[in-house]
Structure 1
């Protein structure tokens, strides 16, 4: 049976690669993104790859009312099998900085936290009503153990990690599966802006393969590379001062997000 997916942040990076991976299986895709030209290019690539159907809509995940209309309309046209809350941006600190720009922090939070809520919440009643469906939330290794060079981003990802864990337990009796995706370094336009050692970095296409396999198996947590996930979990058990001291030895520059404004 043809799967039906809604993916946010589908115009580039992991979102685009995941859409292409499912297109090759003949899936029906509802793609959301903010850049109209890149989004349409991604949609055309999915059609060429063999997608059964592709609908692309320009959308800002910060707009709660607009996202509710889009998600509900997509589900009404044909029930969603998988909803992927992927859209996100990064912000952080460069050496010498001690405080992130407040406007950049709030804009990033509006996308990475509120945007996830705005994407997922409208799908929950419909999925629970039919007793099926899968929600996938894209987190990050940065949500497993804090990093001193990206405080707000870590906070945002930790927030959605916890929310995904809560939803998984709450929605399971209603037949709805929840998968938390925890990627390490993936070669995307966003990660290319960060200047740091990136151990275990993989292409977005390879990341999409891993994510798709995990979603197909309905795994509750899809973390990769595995050794990094285990290491980050282990670091969270060690004395904080010890880990913080080691982390500060690395030269890392995380560019400030260009986003401003909280949306609606």
Structure 2
């Protein structure tokens, strides 16, 4: 049986949670945090073997788990998958966690255009497309929770990751706007803005990584914020406070601080 066809046939649970990017550090930690006998988890990841590993850990905690490895940037495949889910068991919580990063090889050089397009497709376009497909069913039901993963880099763009910063600023703005739009329909929206969380993607990023958190700690804070339907979940506090100031200070001052603190490093320099 294909991993894309592994759907639940059990009695509906009290909670259904959809997580994309479940093979990543934060996604995997979130899946395990939500895993319980009262939960049906729908986990998505492109790495099938890694996805099965996460699923088995969740099943050991009593969760019913369905898996998919579709290409989220394929409009037709995404629409078909989400339409099927909406008909079979519409998720209560949707965490659009799948994402990637890219950065310039050296100062003065832009990221390759193909990398830019791929990043924007998965970081920005896909979460918006997911909302387009799921919101009508959630609105008809009168409940649901959409969770978008931004980043503290969404407060002010970093020279080391310009396209990533743009994608995270974009999904932050979209989630904030959607929250007000959908609140009267009973649909909550939470924007998550993590700092540095230990992962292969984090390790590959150039520049300093202050106040780095393990993914389990990040997942605990995110789950708590989703449960409270918070508009924004941002952490850790010291880095969040500092990057927030980058958004409100005059741009020249913010850019001087970014360079002073070493966040303009690119390509390992």
Matched, 1:63 2:74: yes
| Bigger mean CA offset, 243-252 vs 109-118 | 243-252
Q: Could you tell me which residue of structure 2 aligns to residue 2 of structure 1? A: 14
1:1-264 pair list within 5 angstroms:
2-24=14-36, 26-51=38-63, 53-249=64-260, 250=262, 252-253=265-266
Once the two structures are superposed, residues 68-115 of structure 1 have per-residue CA deviations (whole angstroms, 9 ceiling, x without a partner) of: 221222232223110010100001124434311111111111111111
- SS, match of residue 56 in structure 1: strand
Once the two structures are superposed, residues 21-45 of structure 1 have per-residue CA deviations (whole angstroms, 9 ceiling, x without a partner) of: 0004642101111111111111111
Does the aligned pair in 2 maintain the 1:135–1:177 contact within 8 Å?
yes
Cα distance between partner residues in 1 of 2:224 and 2:201? 24
Long gaps (5+) in structure 1: 256-264
Aligned-pair distance for 1:17?
0.8
Does the aligned pair in 1 maintain the 2:43–2:65 contact within 8 Å?
yes
The TM-score with structure 2 as length reference comes to 0.89
Cα distance between partner residues in 1 of 2:159 and 2:206? 15
Change (3 A) 1:49 1:77: same
Aligned-pair distance for 1:56?
0.5
How many residues align? The count is 254
Cα distance between partner residues in 2 of 1:240 and 1:103? 29
Does the aligned pair in 2 maintain the 1:14–1:205 contact within 8 Å?
yes
Q: Which has the higher contact order (CA 8 A, sep 6+)?
A: 1
